[in-house]
């Protein structure tokens, strides 16, 4: 059985113990059993008394709670008055809130209708601006594609003057269209400025004004580019130029090899050779490992403004021990540093590389990409520091012959062309002041790269050239 003792009982037990101890000290002599029985009887009586008092306390508490509840519900009680006043104030507040909501609901449809009309007007104007600009961009792209195609075809057939006349007419027409678009955009900006100046419309005005400024800058940039292209056509379209072979089909006269780890002029392992009228790059004397012996075959003269054209193909298998990215990879290096200034163990000359790339038979791989050992270029008016940039060309699988052409206009512009189609163009080739090899070539802080030597690469995969020729342009 579980027994619960209240604090009163515990105190009585403590008192009993103390009294027993005091009696013993006083020398009183009592019979132990009689004394304990008497004490137990007293304890039981005390406990009963405490229980009666607890029951009385409970009754008194219940009576108090009942009286309090009756007082609160009694209309004459002060507690009831407090409750009634609170309920009245709550009821009045609800009525006021309902009245405000009712008034607001009357204006909401009107406000929404008004806002919808004004916002629709702003959206329509924004759509008109965007549609006109998109149309302008599409026309500009179409003109540019037409210009690039005609220019490449006409230049390839040595009819430079006719190409310049046609391109100039197209450019002038495009320029007029762009200027007309600018005037339309200005009209739209003025109409936006006249819109009502409430909060919602003001936000749309700000957004559209920013868009207008951005579009205006883009259109102005296109105009400037068109004018630049027109000026270039006037500059470069003068006399008809002839194709001059750099590779004579018989030997390597005019060419000098520079292979990593070897001195200039040491054509290690007969890497570059001429067989059956073909300039071949071969590694049959390298053993089993390529060992990063990157090589370059330099032509004797530097050039500035010219078109270079080459016909090439990849053959055979890549050498063992060569980096994976060098599979079916070679290049034509333009604006190269003088090979006499290259270090013995320098991998690549400071130059602009037109990558010659072949497909692996399955995956997509663009051709005539750009790589920049020790250099940088600009695209769309911005400096580009990426080492390699992909073109837009198709993939050339297998060992078929491919013709690549590069149009070089000093330090102004360079274009990569395959089968008469421009696949990549960029501007302002320049030395990279972060590159240790390029730093040696910078003079008086001038980074512009407006001329240099031409070379072809040996990068571990056999490649053959059956034609390398150049057309010198007037500056």
Same domain, 166 and 149: yes
Asked if residues 128 and 194 have their Cβ atoms less than 8 Å apart, the reply is no
Q: Is residue 375 part of a domain?
A: yes
Same domain, 438 and 466: yes
Residue 315 pLDDT grade (very low, low, confident, very high; cuts 50, 70, 90):
very high
Q: What is the mean pLDDT of the chain?
A: 78
Chain-centre distance for alpha carbon 279: 43
Domain housing 15: 7-73
Same domain, 293 and 400: yes
Same domain, 463 and 441: yes
Residue 186 pLDDT grade (very low, low, confident, very high; cuts 50, 70, 90):
low
Residue that is last in its domain, among 40, 73, 106: 73
Asked if residues 457 and 324 have their Cβ atoms less than 8 Å apart, the reply is no
Q: Averaged over 68-77, what is the pLDDT?
A: 60
pLDDT at residue 83 in the model = 63
Residue that is last in its domain, among 205, 236, 267: 236
Q: Is residue 96 part of a domain?
A: no
pLDDT at 224 over 80: no
Same domain, 193 and 265: no
Same domain, 193 and 209: yes
Same domain, 230 and 265: no
Q: Averaged over 206-219, what is the pLDDT?
A: 62
Same domain, 321 and 290: yes
Q: Is residue 104 part of a domain?
A: no
With a pLDDT cut of 70, the percent of the chain lying above it is: 61
0.85 surpassed by pTM: no
Same domain, 433 and 289: yes
Same domain, 305 and 361: yes
Q: Is residue 107 part of a domain?
A: no
pLDDT at 96 over 90: no
Q: Averaged over 310-319, what is the pLDDT?
A: 94
**What is the tally of structural domains in the chain?**
3
Q: Is residue 144 part of a domain?
A: yes
Residue 187 pLDDT grade (very low, low, confident, very high; cuts 50, 70, 90):
low
pLDDT at residue 47 in the model = 73
* Number of residues in the chain: 475
Residue 2 pLDDT grade (very low, low, confident, very high; cuts 50, 70, 90):
very low
Q: What is the CATH number of the domain that holds 261?
A: 2.60.120.560
Q: Is residue 103 part of a domain?
A: no
Same domain, 320 and 371: yes
Q: Which residues contact 250 (CB under 8 A, 6 or more apart)?
A: 274, 277
What values do phi and psi take at 72, rounded to 5? -70, -35
Q: Which residues contact 392 (CB under 8 A, 6 or more apart)?
A: 366, 423, 424
pLDDT at 370 over 70: yes
**Measured CA distances, 152 to 141, 305, 363, 376, 408 (Å):** 16, 16, 29, 25, 13
Q: Averaged over 251-262, what is the pLDDT?
A: 96
Q: What is the CATH number of the domain that holds 200?
A: 1.10.132
Residue that is last in its domain, among 73, 101, 126: 73
Q: Is residue 123 part of a domain?
A: yes
End-to-end CA distance of the chain: 118
pLDDT in tens, 415-446: 999 988 999 999 999 999 999 999 999 999 99
pLDDT at residue 196 in the model = 47
Same domain, 304 and 175: no
Q: Is residue 91 part of a domain?
A: no
Query: CA–CA separation, 330 vs 260, rounded Å?
Result: 15
Q: Averaged over 145-164, what is the pLDDT?
A: 59
């Amino acid at each position: 059985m579980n027994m619960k003792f209240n604090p009163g009982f515990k105190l009585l037990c403590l008192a009993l113990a103390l009294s027993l101890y005091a009696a013993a000290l006083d020398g009183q002599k009592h019979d132990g059993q009689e004394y304990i029985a008497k004490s137990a009887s007293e304890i039981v009586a005390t406990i009963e008394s405490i229980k009666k008092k607890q029951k009385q306390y409970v009754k008194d508490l219940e009576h108090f709670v009942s009286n309090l509840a009756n007082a609160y519900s009694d209309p004459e009680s002060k507690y009831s008055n407090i409750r009634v006043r609170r309920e009245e104030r709550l009821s009045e507040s609800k009525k006021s809130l309902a009245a405000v909501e009712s008034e607001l609901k009357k204006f909401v449809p009107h406000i929404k209708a008004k806002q919808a009309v004004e916002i629709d007007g702003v959206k329509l104007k924004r759509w008109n601006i965007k549609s006109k600009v998109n149309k302008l961009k599409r026309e500009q792209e179409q003109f540019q594609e037409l210009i690039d195609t005609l220019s490449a075809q006409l230049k390839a057939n040595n009819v430079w003057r006719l190409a310049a006349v046609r391109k100039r007419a197209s450019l002038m027409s495009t320029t007029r269209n762009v200027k007309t678009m600018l005037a339309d955009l200005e009209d739209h900006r003025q109409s936006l400025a006249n819109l009502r100046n409430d909060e919602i419309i003001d936000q749309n005005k700000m957004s559209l004004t920013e868009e207008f400024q951005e579009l205006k800058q883009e259109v102005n940039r296109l105009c400037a580019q068109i004018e630049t292209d027109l000026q270039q056509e006037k500059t470069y379209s003068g006399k008809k130029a002839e194709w001059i072979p750099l590779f004579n089909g018989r030997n390597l006269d005019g060419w000098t090899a520079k292979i990593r780890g070897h001195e200039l002029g040491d054509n290690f392992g007969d890497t570059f050779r001429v067989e059956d009228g073909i300039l071949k790059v071969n590694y049959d004397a390298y053993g089993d490992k390529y060992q990063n012996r990157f090589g370059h075959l330099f032509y004797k003269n530097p050039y500035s403004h010219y078109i270079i054209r080459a016909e090439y193909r990849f053959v055979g298998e890549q050498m063992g021990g060569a980096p994976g990215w060098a599979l079916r990879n070679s290049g034509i290096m333009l604006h190269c540093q003088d090979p006499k200034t290259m270090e013995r163990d320098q991998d690549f000359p400071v130059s602009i590389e037109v990558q010659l790339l072949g497909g692996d038979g399955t995956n997509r791989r663009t051709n005539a990409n750009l790589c920049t050992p020790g250099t940088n270029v600009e695209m769309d008016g911005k400096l580009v520091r990426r080492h390699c940039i992909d073109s837009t060309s198709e993939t050339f699988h297998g060992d078929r012959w491919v013709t690549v052409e590069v149009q070089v206009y000093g330090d102004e512009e360079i274009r990569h062309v395959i089968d008469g189609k421009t696949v990549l163009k960029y501007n302002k080739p320049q030395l990279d002041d972060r590159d240790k090899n390029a730093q040696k070539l910078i003079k008086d802080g001038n980074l512009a790269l407006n001329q240099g030597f031409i070379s072809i690469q040996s990068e571990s995969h056999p490649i053959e050239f059956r034609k390398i020729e150049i057309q010198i342009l007037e500056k």
